[in-house]
Structure 1
Amino acid sequence: MARLHRRHLVQIGGGRVIDLYYNFLSRKAVCAPRSGFDPGDDVSPVLFPHQRDIVRWCLRGGRRAIFAAFGLGKSLMQLEIMRLILAHEGGGRCLIVCPLGVRQEFKRDAELLGMCPQFVRRTEEVVGDGLYLTNYESVRDGRLDVSLFEAVSLDEASVLRSFGSKTYQTFLQLFDDVPYRFVATATPSPNRYKELIHYAGYLGVMDTGQALTRFFQRDSTKAGNLTLYPHKEREFWLWLATWAVFVQRPSDLGYSDEGYELPPIEVVWHEVPMPDDAAPAEDRDGQLSFIRDSAVSLSAAAAIKRATMGARIEKAAEIVAASPDDHFVLWHDLEDERREIGRQIPEAVEVYGSQDLDERECRIVGFSDGEFRVLATKPVLSGSGCNFQRHCHREVFCGVGFKFNDFIQAIHRVQRFQQSEPVRIDIIYAEGEGHVVDALREKWRAHDELTERMAAIIREYGLAEADAACAMRRSVGCERREESGDGWRVVNNDTVEETASMESDSVDLIVTSIPFSNHYEYTPSYNDFGHTSGNGEFFEQMDFLTPELLRVLRPGRIYACHVKDRILFGGVTGAGLPTVDPFHAQVIAHCMAHGFDYVGMVTVVTDVVRENNQTYRLGWTEQCKDGTKMGVGCPEYVLLFHKPQTDRTRGYADVPVAKGKDEYSLGRWQTDAHAFWRSSGDRLLEAADFADMDMSGRCRLFRDFTLSHVYDHEWHVSLADAMADSGQLPTTFMALAPASWSPDVWTDVSRMMTLNTEQSRKRRQNHVCPLQFDIVDRLIERYSNPGEVVFDPFGGLMTVPLRAVSMGRRGMGTELNPGYFDDGVAYLRAHDEKAYAPTLFDVGAA
């Protein structure tokens, strides 16, 4: 009924509908929810002023993150948060989850607040109300039921990543029923976007999948490669500021930094040469190389590690022996390195993964308290949460790797506030690992830069998340611009507002590719249809546009809507495997609900190999493990909707798309109806026939052959296998794609024939969902007459208006993104100039 009512409003007065539309847009703003309470002046005076402010802010939100620099007192703040929750609730249970070796720090700070937390590892040990401590392993392994607690805080939650990505995601979902949730960790690397988003999901601020689609652009060539949209970067950091406080020093919140100055740090790099007797590197083809470079392959990197292990540990032993009065942490990554450390540095006390948990913790605490001089451990085991600054200011990395977060966390075990000595970090790497060192240095630089950017936002807005949310608000509306030329008119504006201003029955054909729900965002504007929380909100916005499309289309004419189903990843949905959102079916239901007749669907087959490179859901290896988890490739669809003609007793449009048989031959009709091309082969093909052909020739020959012979699936597979055996089957696209006889399945659409080809050549921004020329041309030819108006409400690079003009029609389009609009106008103007530019023969005739 709501949809019918809204459609009626369109008919009686567009102004009121536009008001409703802009009310809808204003509700799109994202803001972290509040679910806590204000403790007022009950915060303990034991805390420093900046700590008291952060505690109040966290409790008002109820679900917040403290990303504070090393040594700013995160453990004390978490304890005070739990103390105040217990007081506010009149009892109950609270839990702090921390890494091994950290509980002693909490117990020391708890004494300052008059608290005595109990450490537990199993559910049966939880008896009575109060504050409990546990480690991550107990929760991860299911020994402790977190639903028993009213509040949970994760201390140094970045340690979860050492458990693996799957554990990281499922672990955070265990707390969905806990009312109060907090994260307190040293400032995470801001370029660890997924880590930040997982925290938002744990806190209940925003669904992980929603956050990914809202702020990040996908790499269409590689799955999982996410980068922030340039126009959303500041919005992303402002959004973080509404639920997470990034603090590097007390002055970020307006307080004195006295006692909170980081000690100076000296980083010394040591290159260890390859031993003279090292064997030359050998690649997979048996070629030998005397130049060692770990960038060549994983096996080459491992070989360099093995060949230099003794020399690297010898260098570490030399550094330790040169300073007999200093305490050292020796960081290593391999078990063989640990054993070599034990051989060359016998006084080193080892901490390793297979050790008894109590023994591991005892050794970490013992080193923290200065009971022995040298600790040998891995960053993934002891690099988070441990405070070694009281007795140690020296660290030696016995090797280098690409895991920057582990590296920076390990450094800050000693370089932290309340460190009284200058810090020295010795980093030992092997000859041939220079690129690893360069990558590490670059990540360090980016880490410092982005961390400072977040701190600047805190200094600007403080802990007033409402101010940050206000600053985060996107633009609403668009400064309308109109451009026109010979046979075309396009507008830079919100398509709902622009279409609402058009005359009824003024368009002869609508051809468009609508946004695929919230799969992409195109502009930093709330008007953007891609800026939605999911299908529900997307179709709510479409409820304002689709009735307008019905109104402006002539009776009996076609609305051709290009769509594609969406891949839903198992890590986001919880299904465990990729599933498919039948988006095209929802579009059909939506348009029919608004009065369109549904008259058919054209299927455009896409390249399954390219799709797998984008999604990793159709992998050959995974199919061999279990065929049940693999679906099929996702084609594109052109949905054909029909506006009811005035006279429903006859099937013809009010103005038919008529063609004379003298100009539209029987043969052309058959070609259009069947999209059927025959080849001239007279025998079955063999793999040898392909051997001397280039790849484009093979693809074309195979396509023509499948159209001229009865299709044999087993022969198709054997041919592909033969090409694979000879190393000629590509992995980046499907070389042997079967062709189709069906008029509703188009397999001959050129994936390269889009305006994105020109965009790439000119180094301009690519449109993320380009519409192919072939699709547009066929639809225009089939469903419009020469001289008629073809309209695209999501114009993008103005492919539809451009092809319409090229085919003797009049083109119209609207586009919200000003960059796309400008490029589209440039293409249209270039077409005008080409049409009227004098040729060489014109000059000669003059």
Structure 2
Amino acid sequence: MTDAYRQFLERKVKMAPATGFPVADSEIHPLLLPHQRAGVRWACEGGRRALFEAFGLGKSAQQIEILRLARQHAGGAALIVVPLGVRQEFKRDAAMLGVETRFVRTSAEVEPAFDGIYLTNYESVRDSKLDPNLFTAASLDEASVLRSFGSKTYQTFLMLFDQVKYRFVATATPSPNRYKELIHYAGFLGVMDTGQALTRWFKRDSTKANNLTLYPHKEKEFWLWVASWALFLQKPSDLGFSDDGYQLPEITVHYVEVPVDHASADADRDGQGNLFRDAALGVRNAAREKRDTLPARVAAVQQILASRPDEHWLLWHDLEAERHALQEAIPDAVSIYGDQDLDEREQAVIDFSEGDIRILSAKPVIAGSGCNFQRHCHLAVYAGIGFKFNDFIQSIHRIQRFLQTRPVEVWIVYAESEREVLATLQAKWARHVEMVNKMSDIIREYGLSHQAMANILQRSIGVERIEASGEGWQVSNNDSVYEMRLIEDNSLDLIVTSIPFANHYEYSPSYNDLGHTDDNKHFWAQMDFLTPQLLRALKPGRIACIHVKDRIQFGAVTGAGVPTVSPFHAEAIAHYAGMPDLGIKGHGFDYLGLITVVTDVVRENNQTYRLSWSEQCKDATKMGAGSPEYILILHKPQTDRSRGYADERVRKSKQEYTRARWQVDAHAFWRSSGNRLLTPEELASLPPDQLSKVFTQYSLAATYDYEAHVRIGEELEARGALPATFMSLAPGSHHPDVWHDVIRMLTLNGEQTRKGLENHICPLQFDIVDRLINRFSNKGDLVFDPFGGLFTVPFRALKLGRRGRAVELSTPYFMDGVKHLQAAERELAMPSLFDTLPDQEQAA
């Protein structure tokens, strides 16, 4: 069992699958340099790979050679999709490699007998003139230009190649700052479904669409996964080869600020006057600053060009008004623009790259990708600051690239009111360099070996067991599957737990985490290792109470268009007890029923946006119902199946367990106060004014714990939220003459903080746990939770006169839970006033 489980965990490590073909070094054209040959071999063996290589490292030649070898291996036709103005670069490289190329715009131009590589522009594929699936192999050159088509077109474009056997991407700027772009490239290559990738590595912001945050504990895994299908190469030495001839030219950036008249600053939308003009205050302000400062910016550009009248220049602009103004002020400039004839535009790009045009004026979105201008130009001027960083960095590297023989100089002209916009651009530039360097570090450390990367990730499997115990309780920091080996057969009186809801959330960075699964099927496959052990350890005839909740599936992900519900509770029933009528065996439990715990539909809608009043009024057919929580009541078969009683019964006196309590407990619908334990992180995340009241009351309601007190303060200080002017964590006073100005409130019954919602998707509430323990166990019984969390179950078991045992994989949760249990133990052991009196005085 253990070896099989370890193998299961190791298979969780995700590296890109290899779907290509082996290539011998002798098969590669001898003109390719060592780093290029390594890239070709790696891409061919993978079959679907990305070349994210720095400008000038020879991506064009590599793509041509990769597709030549793919055709040689599998036959069929091959296609490279290139930006406008770039095909001459490919024709030149292909001729050098002895490969014939042919430029086509329509499917009708594709001839099966052609023994070469086809070239086309993105527009031909976008406009459905050319069907990509006519080709066995295809490569997207500088695919980042797709963003200029709009995000919807960008995403649908990538799906057009689903039937192409071998797929490749090549770009120098894959925007590692924009995670979703990387995810879409992975989807295009068929490495991983985009939805699965987003769920696996990213935390979503429910308040802002597409705002993705990479889980901190998943960062290394994410970048190693990316490196398994994308070669981030900044220089040949990253792969151990010589950098001779590949020294990137020095770049000098001049920032030219144009003053503005702040006396003309507008009022805001509320009528409040602004002291300064500021382009960062909104779209309207940004447009106005562009318009009002245009003459001054164009004049600055004229002065810059006049300082070097005989040099070749690139003029970059973002607006049509800027193009017209520059053309009028600088008649020598040749402009290219969007509605220009494509052949005319492309010829201008070719002429400038070959030195026949001295000044070229263009938008980065049009000529900023793929073009090689370094042979005759090393100077560029930006007539203004754009808001699209990728277009900017691409345009920079039209001249700052390997094989550029002169130092590069760039002038950025901006208005005084655009200082914040400039600061944002500079910050993005710094993050871009940081991320690229991070990927280069991975390549330098692991090379192109998938196995070396996978081995590193596999080392995170497992946890060093820690045990803590006290009077009536024992808990461990461990994987539940491994911990169950230490628990004897038929030793547990009751199991109460909230299982992870498949891959809805990962509670720890370990691959042992059941939340670290691809989908529901994968989750239940891991549960197959645990559930038989729970059945084995539970006493015959006793109960396992399993807390579950269905999951909302968004229409944009499923394709249904409306939010649907994944019946997770039904899957859980099938897993534990089976469904014999449907041929589902299960793991041997008897299913006795379902307790429904109602939830707040308003709060649920705030998290899922699926039950809003506005949408109900627009069209009620897309509305479902609120999603409650469920407690599955599962029964381990008793030894004597001819009788319904457990081997060791749970007995109650009718005086203690009244008819009224029985009627409420027996009902299938339960309500909860929501009262539960708060973590130190949750307390620390509260605003200081709320925290001071909450913590003081908490110190009165629970046994004081000095270490916990200090740790909460340290959490606050680490976040910069520990006030320096007042004490926000003052313990409460029990003495009537010492006031602490606290407003009475149930500190364990407050609304979960935002962090709490993310880390405790559906925590077990005290009253629910208490009712289950009282109903299904005797005093002194052992109550077990295989997913202990903060150890709510053993905590409440102690309070109710039972014994508690639990397992938790997350070490921080384990440590917090131990503090709660130690406090509960001290509270139970502390004698009361009457305990200290002689028996005679108590009797009197």
Q: Specify if TM > 0.5.
A: yes
Structure-2 separation of matches of 1:207 and 1:96: 23
Q: Would the aligned equivalents of 1:474 and 1:524 in 2 still touch at CA under 8 Å?
A: no
- Superposition map of 1:313-712 within 5 A: 313-570=298-555, 572-575=557-560, 578-592=563-577, 593-608=586-601, 610-611=603-604, 614-615=607-608, 631-648=624-641, 651-668=644-661
Counterpart AA for 1:121: R
1:810 aligns with one of 803, 809, 831: 803
Counterpart AA for 1:104: Q
Q: Would the aligned equivalents of 1:597 and 1:642 in 2 still touch at CA under 8 Å?
A: yes
1:594-641 deviation per Cα after TM superposition (whole angstroms, max 9, x unaligned):
122333333444455555555555567777776655545544333332
Offset of residue 77 of structure 1 = 0.7
2:182 aligns with one of 192, 196, 206: 196
Counterpart AA for 1:266: T
Give the aligned partner of residue 765 of structure 2.
773
**Number of equivalences:** 759
Q: Would the aligned equivalents of 2:144 and 2:173 in 1 still touch at CA under 8 Å?
A: no
1:54 aligns with one of 21, 39, 55: 39
Structure-1 separation of matches of 2:91 and 2:445: 35
Structure-2 separation of matches of 1:608 and 1:347: 66
Offset of residue 583 of structure 1 = 2.1
Structure-1 separation of matches of 2:527 and 2:337: 57
- CA gap of 1:751–1:296, structure 2 versus 1, over 3 A, is farther
Q: CA RMSD in A?
A: 3.1
Offset of residue 661 of structure 1 = 3.8
Give the aligned partner of residue 822 of structure 1.
815
Counterpart AA for 2:635: H
Offset of residue 401 of structure 1 = 4.4
Structure-1 separation of matches of 2:515 and 2:59: 38
1:710-763 deviation per Cα after TM superposition (whole angstroms, max 9, x unaligned):
xxxxxxxxxxxxxxxxxxxxxxxxxxxxxxxxx626475369967763464633
Give the aligned partner of residue 226 of structure 1.
212
Give the aligned partner of residue 715 of structure 1.
none
Offset of residue 150 of structure 1 = 0.8
Q: Percent identity?
A: 61
Deviation larger for 613-622 or 115-124: 613-622
Structure-1 separation of matches of 2:562 and 2:361: 40
Offset of residue 671 of structure 1 = 5.7
- CA gap of 1:841–1:554, structure 2 versus 1, over 3 A, is closer
2:233 aligns with one of 247, 250, 264: 247
Offset of residue 663 of structure 1 = 3.3
Structure-2 separation of matches of 1:801 and 1:48: 65
Structure 1, unaligned runs of 5 or more: 1-16, 675-742
Deviation larger for 445-454 or 161-170: 161-170
Counterpart AA for 2:452: D
- Superposition map of 1:249-288 within 5 A: 249-275=235-261, 278-283=264-269, 285-288=270-273
Give the aligned partner of residue 216 of structure 1.
202
- Superposition map of 1:27-42 within 5 A: 27-40=11-24, 41-42=26-27
Offset of residue 359 of structure 1 = 3.3
Give the aligned partner of residue 11 of structure 1.
none
Q: Would the aligned equivalents of 1:187 and 1:246 in 2 still touch at CA under 8 Å?
A: no
Q: Would the aligned equivalents of 2:256 and 2:411 in 1 still touch at CA under 8 Å?
A: yes
- CA gap of 1:455–1:839, structure 2 versus 1, over 3 A, is farther
Structure-2 separation of matches of 1:135 and 1:558: 66
- CA gap of 1:635–1:649, structure 2 versus 1, over 3 A, is same
Is 2:94 aligned against 1:94? no
- CA gap of 1:659–1:360, structure 2 versus 1, over 3 A, is farther
Q: Would the aligned equivalents of 1:509 and 1:789 in 2 still touch at CA under 8 Å?
A: yes
1:629-669 deviation per Cα after TM superposition (whole angstroms, max 9, x unaligned):
55455443333323334454555544444443433445555
1:744 aligns with one of 669, 677, 680: 669
- CA gap of 1:650–1:539, structure 2 versus 1, over 3 A, is same
Counterpart AA for 1:771: P
Offset of residue 330 of structure 1 = 2.9
Structure-2 separation of matches of 1:557 and 1:358: 80
1:32-73 deviation per Cα after TM superposition (whole angstroms, max 9, x unaligned):
222222331021112112111211221122222111101111
- CA gap of 1:362–1:525, structure 2 versus 1, over 3 A, is same
Offset of residue 510 of structure 1 = 1.8
Q: Would the aligned equivalents of 1:399 and 1:428 in 2 still touch at CA under 8 Å?
A: yes
Deviation larger for 498-507 or 629-638: 629-638
Counterpart AA for 2:788: G
2:109 aligns with one of 111, 125, 141: 125
Q: Would the aligned equivalents of 2:676 and 2:765 in 1 still touch at CA under 8 Å?
A: no
Offset of residue 526 of structure 1 = 3.0
Deviation larger for 515-524 or 453-462: 515-524
Counterpart AA for 2:11: R
- CA gap of 1:495–1:363, structure 2 versus 1, over 3 A, is same
Counterpart AA for 1:508: D
Structure-1 separation of matches of 2:117 and 2:426: 41
Give the aligned partner of residue 45 of structure 1.
30
Structure-2 separation of matches of 1:59 and 1:246: 16
Q: Would the aligned equivalents of 1:208 and 1:572 in 2 still touch at CA under 8 Å?
A: no
Is 2:792 aligned against 1:799? yes
Counterpart AA for 1:434: R
Offset of residue 409 of structure 1 = 1.4
Counterpart AA for 1:132: Y
Is 2:92 aligned against 1:108? yes
1:331-357 deviation per Cα after TM superposition (whole angstroms, max 9, x unaligned):
333333334434444444333333333
Structure 2, unaligned runs of 5 or more: 578-585, 687-711, 717-754, 839-844
Give the aligned partner of residue 723 of structure 2.
none
Is 2:163 aligned against 1:171? no
Offset of residue 203 of structure 1 = 1.9
Offset of residue 31 of structure 1 = 2.7
Give me the TM-score of the superposition, normalised by structure 2.
0.83
Offset of residue 208 of structure 1 = 2.2
Offset of residue 192 of structure 1 = 2.3
Q: Would the aligned equivalents of 2:679 and 2:816 in 1 still touch at CA under 8 Å?
A: no
* Secondary structure of 2:170's aligned partner: strand
Structure-2 separation of matches of 1:410 and 1:751: 55
1:400-439 deviation per Cα after TM superposition (whole angstroms, max 9, x unaligned):
3443222211211111111122212222333343333222
1:747-806 deviation per Cα after TM superposition (whole angstroms, max 9, x unaligned):
753699677634646339963435142443343344333332221111122222223223
Give me the TM-score of the superposition, normalised by structure 1.
0.83
Structure-2 separation of matches of 1:838 and 1:430: 74
- CA gap of 1:475–1:282, structure 2 versus 1, over 3 A, is closer
Offset of residue 74 of structure 1 = 0.4
Structure-2 separation of matches of 1:620 and 1:257: 63
1:365-396 deviation per Cα after TM superposition (whole angstroms, max 9, x unaligned):
33323333333333222222122222222222
Q: Would the aligned equivalents of 1:217 and 1:520 in 2 still touch at CA under 8 Å?
A: no
Counterpart AA for 1:80: E
- CA gap of 1:611–1:233, structure 2 versus 1, over 3 A, is same
